[in-house]
Structure 1
Amino acid sequence: MLILQQYIQEVLFRQRICVVPHIGTFSIQHFPARYNAGAQTLLPPRDQVVFTQTWQDDGSCQEWIALKENLVPAVAQRKLEKYIEEFKAALQPGQALELPGIGKLQGDFAGNLHFYAEELPVDPADLPLSPVQRQEPAAPPVVAPTAALTPVEPPMPPETPVEPVMTEEEENTLEAVTEGSIFKWWWAVGGALILLGGLATWWYIGRQGGDHEVPAGAPAVFVITDTTQHHKTDSVATAPAVSDSISYFIVLDEYQDSLSAAKKKATRESWEKEKGTVFVTYHRDNRYKVALPVTSLPIDTTSELQAVKSKYGKAYLEH
């Protein structure tokens, strides 16, 4: 009985929902802030624990017991059934079962369970509100027009730049300097073109002579060509090494809706938070699956599957 109480306290405040098979479902609902017109106060938002006798076993309770007591899934299931019987025995008619920090469960003669929730701490306190009187802005003062208006002078037009005046002797000197500069520039360009043409001619003649002449005294080199080859050796690229590892999934759970799969994934990751284990969800064959992504050699797939089965129970491979 104490084990299920601890399970409810740990899981409820961490996931905001907790399912106890054959008992019911606990959940935390959020209520927004509301205004109390009578007391003229603003009540802050709050959380409240809600209980319903409807439940859908997702295996979370059995897995929590297996991890808590280091048991295999089959033994953990038998332990869960024993804890549920003890929990029901404590809810006989007229008896109340205390859940510290959550509330109180009490059974009646009709087999119904009544839940009395504790008030969860609320912060901040209620805020008093007072009506605010809106004040209209004062009208601006009216200024009487003046009797005489000050004339506004039009802007002055921009001044036209004055072209400098040159004498006849200065103009002749400027033209002579300009013509001399142009003449010297053409001489420089022509000399550069002639030099480039000479270098190109020398390179071409040397290239032609180098293809047909062998320098005196140089040893003859005979090249034997293998006519059986269809391509040059240096053009063959070495094929990159291919890794033999494969990637696949080890499926742990299957659901018909994505919400249950996502909730199961979050539950498993919270239990394996310290180990850093990563779970994934995906949709295949009209089922939403929670799985472990694995990368290994093909020969190691069986050992990887057996290791996962020994830890989590049922599992199978899927590529």
Structure 2
Amino acid sequence: MLILQQYIQEVLFRQRICVVPHIGTFSIQHFPARYNAGAQTLLPPRDQVVFTQSWQDDGSCLEWIALKENLVPAVAQRKLEKYIEEFREALQPGQALELPGIGKLQGDFAGNLHFHPEELPVDPADIPIAPIQREEPAVPSAPPAIPPASAMPAEVPVPPSAEAVEPVMTPEEENTLEAVTEGSIFRWWWAVAGAVILLGGLAAWWYIGRQAPVNIPAPVVTIDSTKHRPAPDSSRAATPAVSDSISYFVVLEEFQDSLSAAKKAVKRQSWKQNVVMYRRDNLYKVAVPVRSLPIDTTSELQENRSKFGINKAYLEY
């Protein structure tokens, strides 16, 4: 059990995602800065650990154990099964398992796991933002009346002009002013970085959405029966029309969250595999679009199972 705890701590903060077979998936999600209108403060961006019981084994845990304990893959697999069994025993109903620096896992009587994350440290503090009150310009009053020359005194003393005095600051006050200025610039940099990350995520979601499969109907060819009518050939078997073909999907993998499905679809597309991602029955599926005759669906399924090495692949219309 301690081995899996160490594995989660090392891999999660290095790769921002960690898969524990037969347990679930830990990931670090970034939340951008947001404005609290009630307190009139700008909350800084933050990272939070998220856990889901869905998992897709990528072999990282087995490889980590083999390297950590210097074992061959077969022995490392038996060690992994033993560690997973100990991990499950520690998650009995009513018991909580502490993951230092990450959070707490707790099982219930229904076999579900509940995760309570810890607050990750955040450097920048809240930035107070006070509303600006704009003052209306004062209405100029009428100029005073100029008395006649006879009423003015012979000499009017002119007061000396006041010279601008530059404020004198101590070295401690100058250092404090520079620190406040640098801290404000650093906080605004975090806010801008969070906005850029949010826009990048929206752009990636829009690009993946455009990759959705589109069924293109087969072209219909019209033949004039009055010209070049071929003689019937009784020895040749009738060939089914092109319009009898159907479109369907060979589902390779399915996920409960769109992030994992999108990552898998992009990864397979980078391998030059013709796959798409779509949602059905509250599941996100990675599949191969296929168009064939109804009689060829079984052979297409077997061919894709052998091609991708996934025996659990199935058809979906």
Give the TM-score category using the shorter length: 0.3 to 0.5
Normalising by structure 2, we get a TM-score of 0.45
Kindly name which structure, 1 or 2, has the bigger radius of gyration based on alpha carbons: 1
Normalising by structure 1, we get a TM-score of 0.45
